Amino acid sequence: MKRSTEDHIYDLIDTIDQSGNPIFITVDKEWLRKHLAEQAAIQGPFSGKIIAVKDNINVRGLPTTCASRILKTFHSPYDATVIKKIRAAGGVLLGKTNMDEFAMGSSNEYSAAGAVKNPVDETRVPGGSSGGSAAAVASGLVDYALGSDTGGSIRQPAAFTGTVGLKPTYGRVSRYGLTAFASSFDQIGPITRTVRQSAELLEVIAGKDPLDSTSADIPVGNYVRALDEDVKGLTLGIPWHLLEKGVEKDVMDSFQDAVKTLEKAGVTFREIELKYADYAIAAYYILATAEASSNLARFDGIRYGVNQKMDGGDLFSTYAENRSKGFGPEVKRRIMLGTYVLSSGYYEAYYARGQKVRTLIAREFATLLKDMDGIMLPTTPTTAFKLGEHVNDPLKMYLNDVFTVSVNIAGLPALSVPGKPGKGGLPVGCQFIGRAYDEGTILRLGHTIE
Ligand code: GLN
């Protein structure tokens, strides 16, 4: 490693220590010393580039806390596949970023490590659940971060902080080593300063992985080169009916501004109808909580976590005690909701119905995308809200995901790119939804408006 990268890293650590904003959960100087030495020996496309990693992605030798007390004392014995690939490309991993506990939330306030403040306006949330990763990029600490997106957790924080967030197609990036929240929705993706950096990082992390059977055996595109192609002649659909109510004026202005820029560049727009969009939030919160309740059943607090011992009680009361102490309120709410929708007598009414709605939504997107290259929507209905504004109102928090969850339901790729800022310079995100495995086109569109 060049001496300068090392110096830069140590300067960054000082800045992080002094910032008073809990953007990172773990930055380990000792671990970094060894890591820097290892990476210095590797010449690759990411040599000298620094990446922040969301704390639900495993890095060998560092804790993975998922911002939860139940993972206290857990150190990962292995690397997630995306981390292996970044190491092989020469990249330097700065540390683990703050998030909503187990990636459940839209504001980064549901974190055992404290709420992250939005670097653009510290009275506001950075979005969530990848709020730490987005804030690490927005504050200028790093150009590259990894997030995970189950219902919007890469795109929404990117929109709130003025960064670029890409949720790849389900199956594009291996989930091996990502702590599962809702396995049929989860995808790892980049949060970066520019669209080009997003393309660069996607090229490194994408691809088939024998350790994740849901990863697809489809060749990885040359996403950086795709940016140089023209957008002229592309057709995009806009479901204007969804934007009639509940969208802030600043968001609407910024969206229309982006549409004009693309029109000038030769993109054709078509009005479309998304008939099932109104059911997306309900379907998502049934299916995602069902999967979460099942995935989180493995955390018993015995090998690591809050209590770790039997304390003379029986097995079940030990589990109950560890889980009561270990999980925060939002995670408990999700486990209870998920258990309820899966329980006998309710399964048909909720879970099975949710699956049917999922199929309808996925089919509707697939049909529309036969005739067009993508769909455009704002990333969020509002700009970043104030810290504390929604924290005690889960429904309001869930409604913030109205434009992002359908994409995960359908498994499609989507990119959030900063548009014209709103009042007081608050960032606004513009979202491009693409055909499955066609990340190249949405990156190219995003590059045109940045
Ligand atoms: N805000 C959504 C939720 O709370 C999405 C989370 C995510 O994408 N991880 O479930």
Residue 408 Cα: closest atom of ligand 1: 8
Question: How large is the average pLDDT for residues 395-414?
Answer: 94
Whether the predicted interface score ipTM is above 0.85: yes
**pLDDT tens-digit map of 193-246:** 999 999 999 999 999 999 999 999 999 999 999 999 999 999 999 999 999 989
Say which amino acid occupies 8: H
Nearest atom in ligand 1 to 154's CA: 8
- What's the 401 CA to ligand 1 centre distance in angstroms? 8
Ligand 1 pocket by C-beta < 6 Å: which residues? 103-106, 129, 149-153, 181, 288, 401
Separation CA 362–CA 369 (nearest Å): 11
Q: Which residues pair with 95 in a beta bridge?
A: 52
CA of 205 to the centre of ligand 1 (A): 22
How far is the C-alpha of 160 from the C-alpha of 131, rounded, in Å?
9
Asked if residue 284 lies in contact with residue 151, where contact means CB atoms within 8 angstroms, the answer is yes
SS3 289: helix
What are the angstrom distances between the C-alpha of 313 and each of 86, 301, 308, 324, 339? 45, 14, 12, 15, 25
Instruction: Say what the pLDDT of residue 20 is.
Output: 94
Residue 385 is given by DSSP the state: P
The phi-psi region of residue 103 (left if phi > 0; otherwise alpha if psi is between -120 and 50; otherwise beta) is left
Residues in the chain: 450
- pLDDT tens-digit readout, 387-401: 999 999 988 888 889
Contact 46, 86 (CB under 8 A): yes
Mutate to test the pocket of ligand 1, among 55, 66, 153 (most ligand atoms within 8 A of CB): 153
Q: Domain-by-domain residue ranges, the chain?
A: 3-226
The CATH number of the structural domain formed by 3-226 is 3.90.1300.10
Between the CA of 167 and the centroid of ligand 1 the distance, in Å, is: 12
In whole angstroms, give the CA distance from residue 6 to residue 356. Answer: 53
Catalytic residues: 54, 129, 153
* Distance of CA 106 from the midpoint of ligand 1 (Å): 6
The dihedral sign for the CA sequence 125, 53, 62, 20: negative
- Please write the tens of the pLDDT for every residue from 40-97: 999 999 999 999 999 999 999 999 999 999 998 899 999 999 999 999 999 999 999 9
Residue 57 · residue 80 · CB < 8 Å:
yes
Label the pairing between strands 374-378 and 268-271. unpaired
pLDDT one-digit tens code per residue, 172-182: 999 999 999 99
Q: Which two tokens mark 172?
A: 């594009």
Q: How far apart are CA 42 and CA 85, in angstroms?
A: 12
* 448, 231 contact by CB (below 8 A): yes
Summarised one tens digit per residue, pLDDT across range 137-148 is 999 999 999 999
Tell which atom from ligand 1 comes closest to the C-alpha of 105.
4
Are 42 and 90 in contact by the 8 Å Cβ rule? The answer is yes
